[in-house]
Amino acid sequence: MRSRPVIAVLAATVLAACASPRAADQGLPGTYEAPATAVAAAPVALDRWWTAFEDAELNRLVDQALASSTDVRLAAARLQEARATRAATIASLLPSGDAKGSARRTETRQLSGTVVNIPGFATNGVSESYSANFDVSWEIDLFGRIFAAARAASADAAASRFAYEGVRASMAAQVADAYFQARGLAIQLEDARETARIQRSLYDLVAARARIGIVATSDPDRIAGELAQADARAASLEAELQVQRRLLLVLAGRTMEPTTAVDTPATVAALPAVPASLPSELLARRPDVREAQMRLKTAAGLQDVAALSFFPTFTLSPGLGWSKTIQPGFSSTSQHWSIGGMVTQPVLSIPRLLAELKAENARTEQAVIGYEKALQTAFQEAEAALVRLDADRRGVTLLVDGEARAARAYNASRIGYDRGLTDLQSALSAEQTWRNTRTQLTAAQVQALRRTVQAYKALGGGWSPSQPPPMPPRPKT
């Protein structure tokens, strides 16, 4: 019967030693199935991919957002907290001990009874006592429990670093996306105002002809309806552009500035090259994948700590002390040192420790699955962005040719109407076709720019795996 507790301890120890996370599935295809036109071998600095657009305003907005955005500053504060927590965790695993000192002065006055004046036993007078002690507690780590806890704390801090880098990458992409949307709205607004100007001049021409009976009196009314729609669209686009500019100012931390402070030219930037990349590079370049990997290491470290809790704990407790006592007619001074040790072996707490180990095993399995999911998501996003970017590039090429042809048809129809060779319906139809094609072209060009941003982000752009993350400046107080 006495051997059962020992057997239980040994069995638990064996179970604890067998605990380890399974290897995550990191299998990825060798290459993306994206068409060759979606990527280029031209070197692009993925750490600062936005500079590839060669747009000074975009560079300024991204840099300002990375320095002052509330999302970035919040992630930076969490990173600082994680680093401080790591330092505190590691410090708690080192030998601990505090120096203590005390002093006491006591004045005794006997009010009744026999007065004793024997040195050391006097009942009247002043007595003083002083002491100083320094006691240390040190857990001797024979099984690696302390190192496992330190590894878990370091991995958790690293995960916070990658989370911070992920926020920075997302912020840069969000600013670029909003900026290109604003430029697209500026183009559409310019087109809408030009359409309104053309419609207004056409209305004046048709109204003059209607007054002298050259055209039907209903023609000016039809033009007036088109003119009202053009004016309404211009007003709507102007409001949307103002909203988009305000978003850019908020992201850049310039909330107090007017929306006119953001320069959004009504032109479309050239599409920069997206560097050729392999799916395996996502393991090192994507901050979310690296974060999931560190979360897995954290869980594995905590799993080791839970497993090693079945092993005995050895604690060494050395100490030093000094004391002095002063009484009427008597004083003494002493010093001492001590050394002790304690061994703790879990016995009755084994069921609780087994339950905690099972919970840690489950958390570790969740971390493994989370890492696998992050890797699969990264690959899916990267390939999807490259495939869609190729389609957008080809669509822009087709629409550029179509818009040029529609513009020529519209100009010919307008000249024919001015000379009385075509009717108003033909002129309006040609103009509508041209405007619709031009709107589609602008939308496709903006979409291609935004897809380029998505491709850079999906490939892990926006942070440097080899450089420490720059921290945003502290706000002025």
62 inside domain: yes
Q: Average of pLDDT values for 1-12?
A: 49
- Residues with Cβ within 8 Å of 425's Cβ and at least 6 positions away in sequence, in order, are none
Residue bearing tokens 């309806």: 225
What pLDDT does 475 receive?
58
Highest mean pLDDT among 44-53, 382-391, 412-421: 382-391
Where do runs of H (alpha helix) occur along 212-286? 218-251, 282-285
Mean pLDDT of 77-87: 90
Position 60 pLDDT exceeds 90: yes
**Rounded to the nearest 5°, which phi and psi values hold at 166?**
-65, -40
Residue 250 pLDDT grade (very low, low, confident, very high; cuts 50, 70, 90): very high
Q: What percent of the chain has pLDDT over 70?
A: 89
Q: What is the pLDDT of residue 3?
A: 47
12 in a structural domain: no
Q: Are strands 125-140 and 313-327 parallel, antiparallel or unpaired?
A: antiparallel
Looking at every residue in the chain, the average pLDDT score rounds to: 84
pLDDT above 50 (res 325): yes
pLDDT for residue 18 is more than 60 = no
Please check whether residue 220 lies inside any domain of the structure.
yes
Mean pLDDT for 447-466 is 89
What's this model's pTM, rounded to 2 decimal places? 0.80
The model's pLDDT over 268-324, given as tens digits with 9 standing for 90+, comes to: 878 888 887 888 888 888 999 999 999 999 999 999 999 999 999 899 999 999 998
User: pLDDT confidence of 143, banded at 50, 70, 90?
Assistant: confident
How far apart CA 343 and CA 313 sit, in angstroms, is: 6
Mean pLDDT, to the nearest integer, of 234-238? 91
The confidence score (pLDDT) of residue 13 equals 52
Average of per-residue pLDDT across 451-468: 87
| Domain presence at residue 148 | yes
CB contact burial 17-43 (16+ within 10 A = b; e otherwise): eebebeebeeebeeebebeeebbeeee
Q: Which residue range forms the structural domain that includes residue 424?
A: 34-458
For the cut 80, the answer to whether the pLDDT of residue 35 exceeds it is no
191: in domain: yes
Residue 219 in domain: yes
Percent of the chain with pLDDT over 90: 38
CA 346 to chain centre: 42
Q: Is residue 94 part of a domain?
A: yes
Residue type at 54 in one-letter notation:
E
Residue with tokens 């992409």: 173
Q: Per-residue pLDDT tens for 347-399?
A: 999 999 999 999 999 999 999 999 999 999 999 999 999 999 989 988 888 88
Instruction: Count the domains in the chain.
Output: 1
| CA-angle at 391, arms to 385 and 396, nearest 5° | 120
Residue 24 counted as domain residue: no
Q: Alpha-carbon distance 215 to 209, whole Å? A: 6
CA 90/CA 155 separation, integer angstroms: 12
Residue 427 belongs to a domain with what CATH number?
1.20.1600.10
**Whether pLDDT at 400 is above 50:** yes
Q: What is the pLDDT of residue 7?
A: 45
- First-last CA distance in the chain: 71
- Number of DSSP helices (H) and strands (E) in the chain, helices first: 9, 4
Q: Does residue 6 register a pLDDT over 80?
A: no
